[in-house]
A and B are shown apart, each in its own frame.
Chain A
Amino acid sequence: GAVVSQHPSWVICKSGTSVKIECRSLDFQATTMFWYRQFPKQSLMLMATSNEGSKATYEQGVEKDKFLINHASLTLSTLTVTSAHPEDSSFYICSASTPSGHEQYFGPGTRLTVT
């Protein structure tokens, strides 16, 4: 199946700093990518839909100025957590749709810890 990678796999940062997470579709072009957040023992929560060449669509309650999403190419979307705080510590996961649309392929996730 298709492969989606994320970088870094884990990151520790200090409160107040910004962190960028990359999501790449390695063997297919993804016009749409999705960003999820998952807290321990909870399910995935969709944060935003990232469309190549246009602004991301954020879910209700997600601060677009805090979670900056850029989808500059058909294989790369980035999520920047700005001015991170301990409550932003979470598992961030991206996904991308195949051209047929039925299957979504997920990245391995990025574990963010804010100290």
Chain B
Amino acid sequence: DAKTTQPNSMESNEEEPVHLPCNHSTISGTDYIHWYRQLPSQGPEYVIHGLTSNVNNRMASLAIAEDRKSSTLILHRATLRDAAVYYCILRDWESSGDKLTFGTGTRLAVRP
């Protein structure tokens, strides 16, 4: 899987939007961009995924750069429950199927 680069940590205030960046300059045309998050002492949780177009769901929005070399996960109103490690993962369905390779992620702290 192509490599992703994320900041080690970020902080946000409660009820404010959060933009979590991810760089993936070596992304291939068949790589999907996936985001998962892991709350303390729990298994990861699926957040969102996309290929080329921006995506929205009840949890977050995913903004994908036009050249696909970067993406941003947007949490519209951070809550204390959003404090977690957020993982940006590229998945090439054709070569690796369902396999996910986790990087180090971004640890998000939310201030009350």
Contact = CB atoms under 8 A, between A and B. Distances in A.
B43 A95 contact: yes
Given A43-B103, A43-B105, A109-B41, A97 B98 contact: yes
A109 B43 CA distance: 6
Contact of A44 (B41, B45, B49, B102): B102
Contacts of B95: none
Which residue of B32, B87, B99, B105 has the most chain A CB atoms within 10 A of its CB atom? B99
Chain A contact residues: helix, strand, loop or mixed: strand
B42 A46 contact: no
B52 to A, nearest CB: 14
Interface stretch (A14-22, A78-86, A98-106): A98-106
Interface residues of A, number: 26
Nearest to A103: B46
Contacts of A4: 43
A105 B88 CA distance: 16
Contact of B43 (A45, A93, A101): A93
B100 A104 contact: yes
A93 B100 contact: no
Given A34-B98, A102-B32, A103-B49, A108 B43 contact: yes
